[in-house]
Amino acid sequence: MDERVREHAELLVDWSARIEAGDDVVVSVAEDAHDLGVAVVEALGERGANATTLYGSAEVSRAYLKGAEAGADGDGGDGVPAFDDDPAVERALFEAADAYLRIGGGRNTTATADVSSATRQAYATARRDAREARMDTDWVSTVHPTRSLAQQAGMAYEEYREFVYDAVLRDWEALADEMAAMKDALDAGEEVRIVTERDGAPDTDVSMSIAGRTAVNSAASVAYDSHNLPSGEVFTAPVDTEGEAFFDVPMTIDATRVRDVHLVFEDGEVVDFSAGAGEDALASVLDTDAGARRLGELGIGMNRGIDRFTDSILFDEKMGDTVHLAVGRAYDACLPEGDSGNDSAVHVDMISDVSERSRLEIDGEVVQRNGTFRWEEGFEG
Amino acid sequence: MDERVREHAELLVDWSARIEAGDDVVVSVAEDAHDLGVAVVEALGERGANATTLYGSAEVSRAYLKGAEAGADGDGGDGVPAFDDDPAVERALFEAADAYLRIGGGRNTTATADVSSATRQAYATARRDAREARMDTDWVSTVHPTRSLAQQAGMAYEEYREFVYDAVLRDWEALADEMAAMKDALDAGEEVRIVTERDGAPDTDVSMSIAGRTAVNSAASVAYDSHNLPSGEVFTAPVDTEGEAFFDVPMTIDATRVRDVHLVFEDGEVVDFSAGAGEDALASVLDTDAGARRLGELGIGMNRGIDRFTDSILFDEKMGDTVHLAVGRAYDACLPEGDSGNDSAVHVDMISDVSERSRLEIDGEVVQRNGTFRWEEGFEG
């Protein structure tokens, strides 16, 4: 086994999930993530934790949803299945778990492309409680580098493996120290404004309140309220968004390629939207529920070990010189005690490149201009 | 997808496990059993059942046990891990499940060969309650034909696939009718005696009580208290075994090849044993616990669709013209109400070819001679 697979596994178990003896851990292993799954479960055995391993196959998920569609058709319904909103096994599983380690890495990133949006939405809505139980664990999401992810990134396999390990096998403690300055600025602030100027495309000028919210220094560890490996972003949960935002980094929503998303906010809600490609997929997300039209997250990418977009939100949103906004669910860690925040069955991130002709202001003061933070060399206030 | 994979899946879901809408089903998918896993989960979706899919990888199991051994070494222990005997997730998972569908088909049938017997035993003993919870569900075990199973059988891949589908895709209702005569004979009887005579090898002459026990007509469906697909055997739970038994069909115990097992019983217990190969693995099984030295099962193979030994207990023990005895755990379905039967962490089947120079008697009356049952043409009483 490549020694980097073992290092990745130990980072996930020890740094990210902080697993200790006696912990009950659920591991989900995608089809081609076998090697990392083996290394992770070996580390869990060594730590004295219990491990239950799920098969996180997108083809299995698709089969379930397509089967349910066929069953719903047979019932003379409209083809949208009525899913059980209290699946006993799934709920019991995650309620009993201390930690959930999701290891992505399937064989085909568009494996669920032919499942209808209505079916996806019905499933996501029905499984909300099970998802809540899962997110109440110390969950961490990572990926094993696979050929299909390399293909999605437009890269050779070996090249992609280097990319992944450059992003993952970092000195996370040192990066956490760098990110603390950004968290401090957001925690002290009340309003964030993001402005980007570009030729021949809609500009961004969007403002939002962050008063009373707590930013997360997302250093790839549950000890930092951070649930992705790699990570390297600082994020919070904004409200009362006003203005227009343009997202120039392409993304994939439900196996549909979506480009050049433009959102218009009034009183905190998306009141108008467009996309250069994949507008139906975007519309479907925004129509999921009331919370899907409000922001759940503002994130600032600070991992400069990630040097290119690879059409994977796990990496793209962490890249240095980017900011992202997510419609949908807010993370509890950002919310004041007793505030439930924006609730939704979805959480979809959208990314802007802010390396040029951009600024991010907190309470009217520029904190980042053209990608450079005010505490960095070369910053032009 | 090969249409036979879909037929296999529908047989498993409908005939074997009797899945209905709303059932909570746990599916375990081995590494190379992906295609059958997909077909099964699709059928579950179509039936309106809930599905949770486990990754049944022997390499993952090995990694956990090897990791635990390494952790135990680090603790300055004797290298045998102290496993948690109440793993919360595993217990909750199976307690919440209505059915458990195990789809075997790994990449290497000796994937756990380097795990010590002491570690296996410690794990099996610790996980007894979780296993009980699993066996309290409507569980069914089957396999997807893989190259590694073909190799274990000494067959070409395509040849092996034909073999599997010949054994699995049968008219189970018709076979159940044939097997009913054997069940009736066992249910009415009090003592079974098996005699085999062979040159140059120990003979079998073993007797056991079956008074008050109920035989299972194992027709590959939970509706018949039968939990294997394929099946095709009639089995019961004997006690008070006396005599000697020789098993000429080779088997694999914990990745060790075991041949020519000879057991000597007194007062229901194995008091002496030998094996032509793999005697240590046999000893390890018999030393697991007190119940491992007593019989849990007498089974009579009646599936003549299985025409050769393939070193897989799922198929071998069902083959026509064979009988098998298992040391260890008895199945509840065979026991009188309120009788807990022989209890053990293990259940290991051992098979004799009875096609020649053999007889099976019930209460002194010959029921099968040289493989032919008394209700069949050519029977020589």
As given in the structure block, the two tokens for residue A91 are: 């709920």
Span B105-124, average pLDDT? 91
Q: Are strands B50-55 and B24-29 parallel, antiparallel or unpaired?
A: parallel
Give the pLDDT score at A190: 97
- Report helix, strand or coil for B116: coil
B263, B245 in Cβ contact below 8 A? yes
pLDDT classification of A252: cutoffs 50, 70, 90: confident
Contacts of A130 in chain B (CB under 8 A): none
* Torsional sign, CA B173, B174, B176, B180: positive
Q: Cα distance from B92 to chain A (closest Cα, Å)?
A: 6
A3, A36 in Cβ contact below 8 A? no
Residue of A nearest to B87 (CA): A50
pLDDT classification of B200: cutoffs 50, 70, 90: low
Separation CA B369–CA A49 (nearest Å): 53
A303, A233 in Cβ contact below 8 A? yes
Contacts of B64 in chain A (CB under 8 A): 41-42, 44-45, 51
* Torsional sign, CA B240, B245, B251, B257: positive
B334, B236 in Cβ contact below 8 A? yes
Q: Cα distance from B178 to chain A (closest Cα, Å)?
A: 35
Residue in the block written with tokens 């851990």: A25
- Report helix, strand or coil for B3: helix
A338, A281 in Cβ contact below 8 A? no
Separation CA B273–CA B265 (nearest Å): 9
Is it the case that residue A23 has pLDDT exceeding 80? Answer: yes
Separation CA B312–CA B106 (nearest Å): 13
Q: Cα distance from A142 to chain B (closest Cα, Å)?
A: 17
Separation CA B350–CA B317 (nearest Å): 8
CB contact under 8 A, A29 and B55: yes
CA angle A271, A241, A300 (to 5 degrees): 120
Ramachandran angles phi, psi of A2, nearest 5°: -55, 125
- pTM here is 0.87
As given in the structure block, the two tokens for residue B209 are: 């009580």
> Residue A344, class by beta-carbon neighbours within 10 Å (0-12 exposed, 13-18 middle, 19+ buried)?
buried
Mean model confidence pLDDT for chain A: 94
DSSP B167: H
Largest CA distance in chain A: 66
Give the pLDDT score at B1: 79
Give the pLDDT score at B77: 60
**pLDDT-wise least confident of A131-140, B192-201, B362-371:** B192-201
Q: What is the ipTM of this complex?
A: 0.85
pLDDT classification of B135: cutoffs 50, 70, 90: very high
Give the pLDDT score at B202: 56
CB contact under 8 A, A42 and B66: yes
Ramachandran angles phi, psi of B154, nearest 5°: 70, 35
Contacts of B71 in chain A (CB under 8 A): 45-48
CB contact under 8 A, B53 and A55: yes
What are the structural domains of chain A?
3-168 (3.40.1830.10), 172-373 (no CATH)
Q: Cα distance from B59 to chain A (closest Cα, Å)?
A: 7
SS3 of chain A = CCHHHHHHHHHHHHHHCCCCCCCEEEEEECCCCHHHHHHHHHHHHHHCCEEEEEECCHHHHHHHHHHHHHHHHHCCCCCCCCCCCCCHHHHHHHHHCCEEEEEECCCCCCCCCCCCHHHHHHHHHHCHHHHHHHHCCEEEEEECCCHHHHHHHCCCHHHHHHHHHHHHCCCHHHHHHHHHHHHHHHHHCCEEEEEECCCCCCCEEEEEECCCCCCEEECCCHHHCCCECCCCEEEECCEEEEEEEEECCCEEECCEEEECEEEEEECCEEEEEECCECHHHHHHHHCCCHHHHCEEEEEEECECCCCCCCCCHHHHCCECCEEEEEEECCCHHHCCCCCCCCCCCCEEEEEEECCCCEEEEECCEEEEECCEECCCCCCCC
- Report helix, strand or coil for B262: strand
pLDDT digits (tens, 9 = 90+) for A83-95: 999 999 999 999 9
As given in the structure block, the two tokens for residue A75 are: 């019932």
Span A168-195, average pLDDT? 95
As given in the structure block, the two tokens for residue B115 are: 């795990």
Contacts of A46 in chain B (CB under 8 A): 67-68, 70-71, 74
Separation CA B171–CA A202 (nearest Å): 66
Q: How many CB pairs under 8 A join A and B?
A: 161
Choose the mutation target among B13, B46, B75 for the interface with A, i.e. most A CBs under 10 Å.
Answer: B46
Rg (C-alpha) for chain B, rounded Å, is 20
Span B323-338, average pLDDT? 93
pLDDT digits (tens, 9 = 90+) for B269-315: 999 999 999 999 999 999 999 999 999 999 999 999 899 999 998 99
Separation CA B192–CA B213 (nearest Å): 12
Separation CA A6–CA B243 (nearest Å): 53
pLDDT digits (tens, 9 = 90+) for B344-375: 989 999 999 999 999 999 999 999 999 999 98
CB contact under 8 A, B38 and A46: no
Separation CA B69–CA A3 (nearest Å): 20
Q: Cα distance from A213 to chain B (closest Cα, Å)?
A: 34
B25, B46 in Cβ contact below 8 A? no
A272, A286 in Cβ contact below 8 A? no
Element (H, E) at B295: strand B295-301
Residue of A nearest to B30 (CA): A55
Q: Cα distance from A90 to chain B (closest Cα, Å)?
A: 7
CA distances to B88, B117, B293, B362 from B120, rounded to whole Å, are: 20, 5, 17, 37
Ramachandran angles phi, psi of A8, nearest 5°: -60, -45
Separation CA B271–CA A17 (nearest Å): 50
pLDDT digits (tens, 9 = 90+) for B64-114: 999 999 998 766 567 789 999 999 999 999 999 999 999 999 999 989 989
Ramachandran angles phi, psi of A205, nearest 5°: -150, 95
CB contact under 8 A, B60 and A41: yes
Contacts of A68 in chain B (CB under 8 A): 45-46, 48
CB atoms within 10 A of CB B364: 8
DSSP B105: -
Percentage of chain B exceeding pLDDT 90: 85
Fill in the amino acid letter for A317.
Answer: E
- Report helix, strand or coil for B74: helix
Please choose, from the candidates B90, B56, B83, B132, the residue with its C-alpha nearest in 3D space to the C-alpha of residue B347: B132
pLDDT classification of A151: cutoffs 50, 70, 90: very high
Percentage of chain B exceeding pLDDT 70: 98
Which residue(s) pair with B60 in the sheet?
A: none
Give the pLDDT score at B198: 76
Within a 13 Å sphere around the CA of A324, how many CA atoms are in the beta-carbon half? 28
Give the pLDDT score at A77: 60
B233, B226 in Cβ contact below 8 A? no
pLDDT digits (tens, 9 = 90+) for A102-120: 999 999 998 998 999 899 9
Is it the case that residue A75 has pLDDT exceeding 70? Answer: no
User: Which of B25, B26, B67 faces A42 most closely, judged by CB atoms?
Assistant: B67
Give the pLDDT score at A76: 55
Contacts of A119 in chain B (CB under 8 A): none
Choose the mutation target among B6, B28, B60, B119 for the interface with A, i.e. most A CBs under 10 Å.
Answer: B60
User: Which of B47, B52, B63 faces A42 most closely, judged by CB atoms?
Assistant: B63
User: Which of B22, B46, B59 faces A71 most closely, judged by CB atoms?
Assistant: B46
CB contact under 8 A, B70 and A22: no
Residue-wise burial string across B143-157, b where 16 or more C-beta atoms lie within 10 A, e elsewhere: bbbbebbbebbebee
Separation CA B134–CA B54 (nearest Å): 13
Please choose, from the candidates B97, B176, B96, B173, the residue with its C-alpha nearest in 3D space to the C-alpha of residue B138: B97
- Report helix, strand or coil for B12: helix
Span A137-159, average pLDDT? 97
Largest CA distance in chain B: 66
Contacts of A19 in chain B (CB under 8 A): none
Mean model confidence pLDDT for chain B: 94
CB contact under 8 A, A51 and B64: yes
CB contact under 8 A, A57 and B66: no
For B306-372, the DSSP string reads: --S--S-HHHHTTBTTEEEEEEEPPPGGGSPTT------S-EEEEEEE-SSSEEEEETTEEEEETTE
CA distances to A248, A293, B95 from A265, rounded to whole Å, are: 17, 9, 47
Separation CA A227–CA A139 (nearest Å): 6
CB contact under 8 A, A89 and B43: no
CB atoms within 10 A of CB B328: 23
pLDDT classification of B380: cutoffs 50, 70, 90: confident
Give the pLDDT score at A202: 55
